[in-house]
Structures are given as structure tokens and as C-alpha cells.
Amino acid sequence: MRLQRALAEAGVASRRKAEDLILAGRVAVNGSVVDVLGTRVDPAQDRVTVDGRPVALRPERRIFLLHKPVGRVTTREDEEGRPTVMDLVPAVPGLHPVGRLDMMTSGLLILTNDGALTHALTHPSRGVTKHYRAVVDGVPDAQTLRRLSTGILLEDGLTAPCRVALSEHAAAGATVDLWLHEGRNRQVRRMLEAVGHPVRRLARLAIGPVRLGDLGTGCWREPQAGELEWLQRCTDGSQST
């Protein structure tokens, strides 16, 4: 990022005042005075001082939306040497997945280097809605759909109420959409298994208003303006999710 922006985000001064500091020769990068506006720095690697005093720079926030494929583990490193989602996105210091999708589940995954955003999207108190689509064995009847929506007793307790809809069905199976506010381990799979309709395929289609859309499997993109606005409101704690 530009040096004046980095100084402003670090709280040294406003961006205009930061420009004045640079032009006055009061700012050094890695020991060398910088007096040219537009100089770029890497907050994760460069050492910046103002009047000889170190400045703690904030890394530029990065957010990637990934269409996670089946067969990838959602972790930064895997002790068993399995392929991870980190191989599919640019290498950014501090980048990590927000929450998890199990190895056999595909769909939308957010990755960021912003710990505050991760906390906002994953803390149970925030109740961020996540939309899943499951292809299951058999066709759940109306009573089963009501059971899923009102709560299923699992080994770790009763699931919270959620929205459930039968999207498609045929003799051999059905497609079920679920909108959850919880994030328990393998929750969708366990809920459907508990009511006698084990999952064949599972994908996450959305997190809040952030949607997978037509993003190709294994591909990533950065959030659009409206999505960024929602993510920022989540981070600020002003978004009702």
C-alpha cells in the first residue's frame, strides 16, 4: 500500500498530514529516508519510522471468496500432507480460512488476514446466516422438514431453528436447502443423517448476502462493493445478520 495510507491507518496522522511528514523527510523505510509521495510499502515486511520512532503498520486487509472444491481441507497446513485451500489463493501473510468446510463439502469459503472480520463472521453471538444445498438419499416428507427446521437433537445438543426447503425431488433422492445460523462441526450432514436422509453431496452457496454465484470450482474473486460494505459492517458490529 502507499506509504501515506499506511501511516494514516497506523494512526500516525491523517493522510494529508502523513504526506506532509513524507515531504518533510521525517519518514524512513528500512532505514532510508523517503520523501517521495506514492512510495509503496509492505506492512508485513517493511520497517517504517517517523522521526526515528518505529511505526506499527497494519497489514493491508485482504479478502478472497473461494469456490472450495471437494477434496481440499480447510486449514492453512495439513499434518497428513493433504491438499489445502491455501494452494488455491494468492500467498498473503496472515491469510487464513474463515470457519471450515469439511473435506467432502464444496462451496463458498471466505479467506482473510483480518482477525476482527473472522471473529465477526464465526462468533456464535453474531448468528451469520449460511445457505447450504444438500443432495440426499430419499425424499424428506413435510414432517421431517419441520423437524429439521425446529431443531434436531444431536450428540452435542439441540440444533437451533433454521429455514429448510425441499428444492427438487425424484424417486431416488432429493435436494434440500438449509439456512443455518450455527456453525457446528459437520452440522448439516449430521442433521440429515439423524432424520434418515444421509447426504450424497453438500455445498455452501452463501454467507449472509455474499453468494457463490457462478464462480468456478477452485476459483477465487475479491468481494464486490456491496459485499465489502456488509463485511465492514459485520466487523464494526453494526450489522444484523
Q: In the CATH scheme, what architecture does the domain 3-55 have?
A: Roll (3.10)
Label the pairing between strands 106-112 and 199-207: parallel
Q: How confident is the model at residue 238 (pLDDT cuts 50, 70, 90)?
A: low
Closest CA relative to residue 140, chosen from 105, 164, 104, 106: 164
Query: Which residues are annotated as catalytic?
Result: 102
CATH 3.10.290.10 in the chain is located at 3-55
In the chain, CATH 3.30.70.580 covers 63-125+210-236
Distance CA 48, CA 29 (A): 5
Residue range 129-207, CATH number:
3.30.70.1560
Burial class of residue 147, CB neighbours in 10 A (0-12, 13-18, 19+) = middle
Which pLDDT band, with edges at 50, 70 and 90, does 49 fall under?
very high
**What does the angle CA 206 – CA 211 – CA 212 come to, to the nearest 5 degrees?**
95
pLDDT digits (tens, 9 = 90+) for 117-172: 998 999 888 889 999 999 999 999 999 999 999 999 999 999 999 999 998 887 77
Ranges for all domains in the chain classified under CATH 3.30.70.1560:
129-207
CB 181 within 8 A of CB 127: yes
63-125+210-236: CATH topology is Alpha-Beta Plaits (3.30.70)
End-to-end CA distance of the chain: 31
